[in-house]
Amino acid sequence: MLRTPTGGAGHGTAPTGHPLVSIGVVLSRLREEFPEVSISKIRFLEAEGLVEPRRTPSGYRKFSAEDVERLAQVLRMQRDHYLPLKVIREHLDARGRGARPCPPGPQRQPSADTFGEPEPERPTAARIGREELLAAVEVGESRLDEWEAYGLITPMPDGAYDAESVTVARLVSDLGRFGLEPRHLRAMKAAAEREAGLVEQVVAPLRLHRNPQTRAHAEATTKELAALSVRLHAALVRTALGVRQH
């Protein structure tokens, strides 16, 4: 958690006596909890009206402790709830007015470990727009276009993206740092589609059953088989690489 005291508006020093800080200091504080945050992400959130830092006469941004905490709240909501920035802004503004809005949206479950151990069951998360996906993953339009061209990311009919698209985009971006390009990941996508096909073979008869309870059981069976498939895949990758868990 961030260790940032709250402060108010002002120029040069917050009313609580805590000095305003530069964007570089804000970045270092946020990275204690959000290692992937960048200065460009902070500037983007400012441009979207999520935070309003002061400006020095020469144009430099200066942030109060309250600004830093608000940024942390925004990043937590993005990370844990996959919420659009508009919803986050409205929620925080309502809290700032003294209202007590309901927790926004479904909560994201803990993520998988390094070798892809299955995540707990995840509820359907809120959709986000293209600009918000680009900001969340911190990539440009051309990179996302390439991912979509290779079928790694697929927008919904209305052009929005779901939670799984965000997860895939982040993983593809992380793999890219090691030199793995989208063309290299086609084999992974093909393997995932083959695994999904096996699961579908098992649950298809259940989905066509007349009994509604049996049809409902098909969804639970799908999730359980998906989790087992991910665990098996992770174990096979570890075995192939000679990696031992501790």
Query: Residues 174, 186: contact at Cβ < 8 Å?
Result: no
Tokens for 199, please give them: 């699961």
Q: Are residues 83 and 147 in the same domain?
A: no
| CATH code, 34 | 1.10.1660.10
Q: Which long-range contacts (CB under 8 A, 24 or more apart) does 85-91 make?
A: 85/45, 85/48, 85/50, 85/132, 85/135, 87/126, 88/50, 89/48, 89/49, 89/50
Q: Which of 96, 122, 154 is the last residue of a domain?
A: 96
Q: How do residues 73-101 score in pLDDT, each as one tens digit?
A: 998 888 877 677 788 888 888 887 877 76
122 located within any domain: no
Candidate from 28-42, 139-153, 232-246 with smallest mean pLDDT: 232-246
Q: How do residues 94-139 score in pLDDT, each as one tens digit?
A: 887 877 766 555 444 444 444 444 443 333 346 788 888 888 888 8
Q: Are residues 219 and 136 in the same domain?
A: yes
Q: Which of 43, 75, 96 is the last residue of a domain?
A: 96
3-state DSSP of 31-88? CCCCCCCCHHHHHHHHHCCCCCCEECCCCCEEECHHHHHHHHHHHHHHHHHCCCHHHH
Strand partners, 161: 128
- Compute the half-sphere exposure of residue 114: CA atoms within 13 Å on the CB side of its CA: 5
Q: How do residues 26-70 score in pLDDT, each as one tens digit?
A: 999 999 898 888 888 898 888 888 999 999 988 899 999 999 999
CB atoms within 10 A of CB 235: 14
The pLDDT-based confidence of 148 (bands split at 50, 70, 90) is very high
Q: Are residues 83 and 163 in the same domain?
A: no
14 located within any domain: no
Q: Distance between terminal CA atoms of the chain?
A: 27
Q: Give the integer Cα–Cα distance in Å for 32 and 55.
A: 25
187 located within any domain: yes
Domain with 36 in it:
23-96
Residue 58 CA, chain-centre distance (Å), reads 35
234 located within any domain: yes
Q: Give the integer Cα–Cα distance in Å for 80 and 212.
A: 33
Q: Are residues 228 and 172 in the same domain?
A: yes
pLDDT, mean over the chain: 80
2 located within any domain: no
Q: Are residues 29 and 72 in the same domain?
A: yes
169 located within any domain: yes
Task: Give how many domains the chain has, as a whole number.
Answer: 2
